[in-house]
């Protein structure tokens, strides 16, 4: 019987973190405690758990390298686990399968592998922002989805998922995306100094230390991974796209 598990996740704008909290809530209703391990706040795994949940967003068909690299550095184990991805469209992405392969190579036994549709947050350069109704519906729909995953995981006699198919094509797409996005903020983002409160949240939140803020002087390096945490999580919406105000996606407004 499981007593304690951990959700290990990376979240840019909050979708994956929201789902991680749903996992915690559902397991704890069954008297199974869950630790939430945000890889930006924890550079290693400090203890062992009875089982694990690994989650990340889909960026250009893949799970971001920042999560993959973190997982590759943890100790091998044969513990059972769940993997999940959050994504804006309805198509199943190979990126989660790549995560499954990485986790399996570490010895984990993957029993459940699921995608969870969440609101689109990547409409800064491409795609379309979801309507208010679509955003609310996606957030609501995630709750029974996670509950079903937890119920499935706790069933007996689940088969271990085998990840034998290659996912090189998606990895190539992702690598091309990184080439594009690493300099994207430097070219397209600027600062509304009247709105900026010099809180440095953008700098502190950046997962690759790509941002430098000094006395309302915003500087970007060349290592952006396209998570868009800076532009969506600015408390005063002070970061401009192409010198124009940008309509943020803030999941907390829909809670």
Percent of the chain past pLDDT 90, that is, above it, reads 84
Percent of the chain past pLDDT 70, that is, above it, reads 96
Say if residue 126's pLDDT is above 80. Answer: no
Count Cβ atoms below 10 Å from residue 5 Cβ, excluding itself: 22
**Choice between 235 and 163, residue whose per-residue pLDDT is larger:** 235
**Angle, CA 56 vertex, CA 53 and CA 60 arms, to 5°:** 150
**Is 65 exposed, middle or buried, given 0-12, 13-18 or 19+ CB atoms closer than 10 A?**
middle
Residue 169 pLDDT grade (very low, low, confident, very high; cuts 50, 70, 90): low
pLDDT (0 to 100) of residue 164: 75
Helices 94-105 and 65-72: angle between axes, nearest 10 degrees: 10
Region 119-147 average pLDDT? 93
Q: Which two tokens stand for residue 35?
A: 């630790």
Spatial contact of 113 and 83, defined as CB atoms under 8 Å apart? yes
Rounded Cα–Cα distance for residues 120 and 235 (Å): 19
pLDDT (0 to 100) of residue 168: 61
Region 104-126 average pLDDT? 93
Say if residue 45's pLDDT is above 90. Answer: yes
Tell me the average pLDDT of the chain. 93
pLDDT (0 to 100) of residue 11: 98
- The DSSP letter of residue 29 is T
Region 129-147 average pLDDT? 96
pLDDT (0 to 100) of residue 165: 67
pLDDT (0 to 100) of residue 159: 94
Taking only the tens place, the pLDDT of each residue in 52-61 is: 999 999 998 8
Taking only the tens place, the pLDDT of each residue in 233-249 is: 999 999 999 999 889 99
pLDDT (0 to 100) of residue 93: 66
pTM metric for this prediction:
0.95
- The CATH fold assigned to 182-246 is Alpha-Beta Plaits (3.30.70)
Range scoring the smallest mean pLDDT among 13-22, 82-91, 144-153: 82-91
pLDDT (0 to 100) of residue 167: 62
Q: Which residues contact 49 (CB under 8 A, 6 or more apart)?
A: 4, 5, 6, 35, 79
Cα end-to-end span (Å), the chain: 32
- The CATH fold assigned to 4-173 is Rossmann fold (3.40.50)
Say if residue 27's pLDDT is above 70. Answer: yes
Rounded Cα–Cα distance for residues 172 and 95 (Å): 11
Q: Which residues contact 161 (CB under 8 A, 6 or more apart)?
A: 100, 104, 110, 111, 112, 113
Residue 91 pLDDT grade (very low, low, confident, very high; cuts 50, 70, 90): low
Taking only the tens place, the pLDDT of each residue in 93-112 is: 678 889 999 999 999 999 99
pLDDT (0 to 100) of residue 94: 79
Q: Where are the domains of the chain?
A: 4-173, 182-246
Which contiguous run of DSSP H or E holds residue 57?
strand 51-57
């Amino acid at each position: 019987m499981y007593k304690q598990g951990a959700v290990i996740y990376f979240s840019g704008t909050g979708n994956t973190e929201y789902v991680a909290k749903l996992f915690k809530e559902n397991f704890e209703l069954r008297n199974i405690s869950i630790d939430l391990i945000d890889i930006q706040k924890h550079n290693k795994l400090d203890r062992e758990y009875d089982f694990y949940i690994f989650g990340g967003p889909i960026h250009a068909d893949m799970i971001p390298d920042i999560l993959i690299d973190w997982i590759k550095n943890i100790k091998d184990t044969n513990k059972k686990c769940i993997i999940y991805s959050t994504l804006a469209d309805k198509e199943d992405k190979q990126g989660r399968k790549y995560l499954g392969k990485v986790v399996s190579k570490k010895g984990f036994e993957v029993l459940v592998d699921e995608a969870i549709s969440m609101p689109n947050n990547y409409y800064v350069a491409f795609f379309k922002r979801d309507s208010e109704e679509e955003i609310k519906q996606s957030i609501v729909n995630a709750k029974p989805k996670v509950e079903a995953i937890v119920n499935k995981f706790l069933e007996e006699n689940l088969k271990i998922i085998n990840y034998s198919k290659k996912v090189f094509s998606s990895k190539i797409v992702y690598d091309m995306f990184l080439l594009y996005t690493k300099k994207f903020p430097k070219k397209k983002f600027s600062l509304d100094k009247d709105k900026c409160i010099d809180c440095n949240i953008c700098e502190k939140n950046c997962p690759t230390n790509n941002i430098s803020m000094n006395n309302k002087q915003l500087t970007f390096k060349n290592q952006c991974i396209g998570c868009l945490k800076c532009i969506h999580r600015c408390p005063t919406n002070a970061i401009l796209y192409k010198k124009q105000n940008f309509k943020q996606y803030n999941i907390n407004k829909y809670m």
